[in-house]
Amino acid sequence: MSTFKQNLVKARSALIFLIGLTLAFWLVYTLETWSPETVVVTESSKIEIDESLNTIRAHRLLTDDETKMAHIAWRYFENNYVPETGMVNSVDKYPASTMWDTSSYMLGMIAARRLNLIDKAEFNSRVSALLHTLATMPLFDDILPNKSYGTNNVAMVTYTNVETERGIGWSAIDVGRIMVPLNILVWHYPEHTNAVGNVLAHWNLDALVINAELYGADISEGGQTILLQEGRLGYEEYAAKSFGLISQDVSRALDYELHMELVDIYDIEIAADTRKPSEFGALNYVVSEPYILDGIEYGFDRTSRELAQRVFEVQRARYEETGILTAVSEDNIDEAPYFVYNTVFADGKAWNAVTESGEDASEFRSVSTKAVIGFHALYENEYTDKLVAHVAQNYDEDRGWYSGIYESSGKPNKAITANTNGIVLEALHYIVYGPMMSVRAPAAQVAEIQEQ
């Protein structure tokens, strides 16, 4: 094959990406009103969903307390930045990161710039350094980013941060998330368009979409690359949206109702995934994070708005029934097993708290800081005020926000992560400007806020 043809093949993902930009603004706008052909029938609920949650909130400047929140969150990224690679540690002082956590950093950085926490020079320097790394990093099987990298040297590593020459696979959901800030950079910061194009020329995005669904990669016991359908209700649709924006056919992954059932909790029917862990090998948990991210990054479509409202309402209902403040999601924790899914529903059980392998972790059920600030940004009502008051002091001023507060003991979960602090910044951005990807947040508005 000629050199020209080889380069053309290698650049196919970037070409698709750049061609897709001609449709991007229209697609982002239509996401706000889009819904599948079949929509969740709201009349099936046994209670009325709070109609105030259907109203797009009025955006405003941050209060003094919220401004302090933003500064504390950004401190994490100051402390954990590695200038030699442009990367940020996923957990405080732990020198590794995933594409998901890299995305949390990128989105937090964009929010920090728009909220005037950093100036243009620092923003551009950080973005340029990171995009160069993303465009030159070693890839799993020379196809897509590995599931984890050392932040000091960009070596592919295992989840326990042991270097591995080949890598351990890729996550389609993680890659889908990092496509969110890459899209934002191109649309709102065109000086970085070429660098983003270099990243996409380096990655083969075609490899993770099969039959309109998302596929991650793993390694079999015999050392063969195996592709596995990735994503469950909430996360699957959230990640697929970014691929849809670059003209990838992800129609099955975007279909909320393809694998959906309604589960009654406190007379509220919440949407859960019908795919059983025993059959499909992945947990089918219902958590807050994908719905919060959908709202604060894209702006809800008709279906995600309805599902998000139900996830929020059932947590408020638990508080009203039990007096226990509830805002659950998955989080790093500060002791073994170090990561827990605090769920609305998982594996047939409401309010299930489980490890990544599905083992009981009820003793670690907690109020999630990122879920609290995210819900408050989206809905800002009497219940979210109570949640915010509960976590208001849940931080180390010199290091960032703690991940949560344990439900049983009331003690802080002192894990400090890029994901929590990045989502806090995104949520505060939403209070001022609305969704991160919105085409209705002109540069002039950003400049006006930054001058105040």
Strand pairing of 96-97 and 149-150? antiparallel
Q: How many other C-beta atoms are found inside a 10 Å radius of the C-beta of residue 219?
A: 16
Q: Distance between CA 427 and CA 421 in Å, rounded?
A: 10
Evaluate if residue 86 carries a pLDDT over 80: yes
Any idea which of 302-316, 340-354, 357-371, 430-444 has the lowest mean pLDDT? 430-444
| pLDDT of res. 74 | 98
Tell me the pLDDT tens digit for each residue of 131-144: 999 999 999 999 99
Does residue 317 sit within a domain? yes
> Is 185 within 8 Å of 168 (Cβ atoms)?
no
Task: With H, G, I as helix, E, B as strand and everything else as coil, classify residue 401.
Answer: strand
Query: What's the rounded Cα separation, in Å, for the pair 200 and 18?
Result: 9
**Is 6 a member of any domain?**
no
pTM exceeding 0.85: yes
Count of domains in the chain? 1
B/e letters for 91-114, b = 16+ CB within 10 Å, e = fewer, are bbeebbbbbbbbbbbbbbbbbbbb
pLDDT score of 92 more than 50: yes
Burial 305-323 (b: 16+ CB within 10 A, else e): bbbbbbbbbbbbbbeeeee
Q: How confident is the model at residue 23 (pLDDT cuts 50, 70, 90)?
A: very low
Q: Contact at 8 Å (CB) between 368 and 331?
A: yes
Helix ranges, 245-395 (H): 251-254, 277-280, 289-293, 302-322, 369-379, 382-391
**Residue numbers of the domain that contains 56:** 13-451
pLDDT (mean) for 318-324: 98
Mean pLDDT value of segment 199-211: 97
Which of residues 384 and 39 earns the better pLDDT score?
384
pLDDT bracket for residue 282 (50, 70, 90): confident
- Give the pLDDT mean for 87-93: 98
33 pLDDT band (50/70/90 cuts)?
very low
Look-up: residue for tokens 């604060």?
296
8 A C-beta contact, residue 34 and residue 301: yes
Query: Residue 85 phi/psi, 5° resolution?
Result: -120, -15
* 179-197 tens-digit pLDDT: 999 999 999 999 999 999 9
**Neighbouring C-alpha atoms within 13 Å toward the C-beta of 270:** 27
Count CB-CB contacts under 10 A for residue 324.
14
Residue predicted with more confidence, 443 or 350: 350
Per the model's pLDDT, the better-predicted residue between 198 and 38 turns out to be 198
Q: How far apart are CA 210 and CA 227, in angstroms?
A: 10
Query: What's residue 101's pLDDT?
Result: 98
- Given a cut of 90, is residue 55 above it in pLDDT? no
Q: Is residue 2 in a domain?
A: no
Q: How far apart are CA 445 and CA 65, in angstroms?
A: 22
Mean pLDDT of the chain: 88
Asked if pLDDT for residue 54 goes beyond 80, the answer is: no
Residue (of 71, 61, 63) closest to 449 by Cα position: 61
CA distance 207 to 216: 9
259: in domain = yes
Compute the C-alpha angle 383/424/116, nearest 5°: 125
Q: Residue 189: what pLDDT? A: 96
Confidence of residue 340 (pLDDT cuts 50, 70, 90): very high
- CA–CA separation, 307 vs 235, rounded Å? 12
The answer to whether position 7 is within a domain reads no
Contact predicate 32/301, CB 8 Å: yes
Answer yes or no: is pLDDT of 151 > 70: yes
- Which pLDDT score is estimated for 18? 54
Of residues 291 and 55, which shows the higher confidence score? 291
CB of 328 closer than 8 Å to CB of 368: yes
> What number is the average pLDDT over the span 170-187?
96
List, as own/partner pairs, every contact residues 7-10 make where C-beta atoms lie below 8 angstroms and the sequence separation is at least 24, other chains included. Answer: 10/201
Q: List the Cα angle 122/123/129 in 5-degree steps.
A: 90
Position 3 in a domain: no
Decide: helix, strand or coil at residue 417: strand
Which strands sit side by side in the sheet containing 339-342, from one edge to the other? 330-332, 339-342, 353-354
Residue 411 has pLDDT above 70, yes or no: yes
What pLDDT does residue 449 have?
A: 54
Q: What is the pLDDT of residues 376-408, one digit of tens each?
A: 999 999 999 999 999 999 999 999 999 999 999
- Whether 48 maps to a domain, the answer reads yes
Q: If residue 176 lies in a helix (H) or strand (E), which one and from where to where?
A: helix 172-188
CA distances from 138 to 115, 126, 133, 154, 435 (A): 34, 20, 9, 8, 32
Residue 295 has pLDDT above 70, yes or no: yes
- What confidence tens digit (pLDDT) does each residue in 214-271 have? 999 999 999 999 999 999 999 999 999 999 988 899 999 999 999 999 999 999 999 9
What pLDDT is stored for residue 215 in this prediction? 97
CATH number at residue 152: 1.50.10.140
pLDDT at 42: 36
Residue 8 lies in a domain: no
SS3 state of residue 63: coil
